[in-house]
Amino acid sequence: MDADSVVATLATTARVAARTLSSSLGSDRKMALFSIADEMEKQSSLILIANSKDMERGRAVGLSPQLLDRLLLTPERISGMAVGARNVANLPDPLRVIVRESVLPNGLHLRQMTVPFGVVGMVYEARPNVTVDAAVILLMSGNAALLRGSSSAASTNAVLVAVMREALERTVISPEVIQLVPSDNRETVNALLHARGKVDLVIPRGSAELIQMVVDEATVPTIETGAGVCHVYVDEFADFAKAISILINSKVQRPSVCNAAETLLVNSAIAEKFLPMALNALKEEGVVLHCDEKVQSVAHELGISSSPIGEANWSTEYGTLEMNVGIVDSVEKAIDHIAKYGTGHTEAIVTESQAAAERFITLSDCAAVMVNASTRFTDGEQMGFGAEIGISNQKLHARGPMGLEAMTTTTWIVTGTGQIRS
């Protein structure tokens, strides 16, 4: 079959199977997720064998270190995925929640109730953990999942989906609610993006280029996740020890992910004292520095290698141990810089001034603001969602890490006693 027919068949099968979700109890879906978690741990060795094949192919074709890091599964990462599934299962059921309720003067009883979207497509790159995170969040929120990962993770994704479907065989939920869209044909992406009427929602997760392509091309409604050009602004009233710890964690703890910091901004009032500490700390962690003229002068005096920064650097999501460093004169100037070059993901301020913190919060236009905390906390699991299906930078419906509630919409239930409209 051609790509359009393949996707249409998968979507139709998933929609029929989704009836087992829409009619299920929260306890049914909870047990399904527990079953998936157990099966992943049981089949861990099989998953690792498949992943090793993808890693070998990835190295052979020259995948970047950051993509290889995202592709890699370890026993610890598989265990983390299972823990995430159980955490999602233990969250409150997001379905059939009454958002608002009232009785009109004519006696009509109104209820607005949460319901699933229906069939949700995921388009993502070399991150097999997304296969599981997306599936369990969509299942728990009553949605069928059409998963279109990248060809670089084809072996891993195939085994993960097979394992999850095998787990569902032991539950009242149909295994057909999880469908893997073939990744060996690039046309299946376009087919998924244009399956309006068959697919209710598409969510992209990956590089800025992938996300932009999906947003530009899709006729199916899309929730736009975004790239992460995140900043750490060290205010003139910052505690230096806190600032260094937050800076290093934000950049170094896992540089390949979207909530890693790409730019350090330092208030000019403390630059002379703070910059030597910050530059030396970054150097010790092996971070390549791109600096504005003033910072480069400090780096030169310290004997630290750095390169002059170009306009394009400020808006680059490196995903590696590289960082921009610049000096600004105030909170407002920091916000001006962030507004020009940031992506609306996560911005952090380090300060002991409540006024400065409030000013930064008020002026920031982003999904998450961190005050005296690492940018790495913009994460569904860290924020108590169990896992996340992505981090939305847009302003409609869902913003920030998206968990169960973000994967529901609502319906109005109007109950009368025979009323007719005059």
Quick check: 286 and 255 in contact, CB under 8 A? no
387 pLDDT more than 80: no
Quick check: 283 and 304 in contact, CB under 8 A? yes
Instruction: Give the pLDDT score at 4.
Output: 95
**What is the rounded CA–CA span in Å between residue 229 and residue 247?**
14
**What is the rounded CA–CA span in Å between residue 18 and residue 23?**
9
Quickly tell me which residue has 């950051």 as its tokens. 66
**What is the rounded CA–CA span in Å between residue 253 and residue 53?**
26
Could you give the 3-state DSSP secondary structure of residue 113? strand
Confidence band of 408 (pLDDT split at 50, 70, 90): very high
CATH of domain 3-225+402-415: 3.40.605.10
327 pLDDT more than 80: yes
211 pLDDT more than 90: no
Q: What percent of the chain has pLDDT over 90?
A: 85
CATH of domain 230-377: 3.40.309.10
- 74: its two tokens: 């370890």
What residue ranges do the domains of the chain occupy? Answer: 3-225+402-415, 230-377
Instruction: Give the pLDDT score at 380.
Output: 78
Quick check: 174 and 22 in contact, CB under 8 A? no
Averaged pLDDT, 278-294? 96
What are residue 408's phi and psi, to 5 degrees?
A: -120, 155
Q: How many helices (H) and strands (E) does the chain have?
A: 16, 16
Average pLDDT, the chain: 94
More confident residue, 67 or 83: 83
Confidence band of 388 (pLDDT split at 50, 70, 90): confident
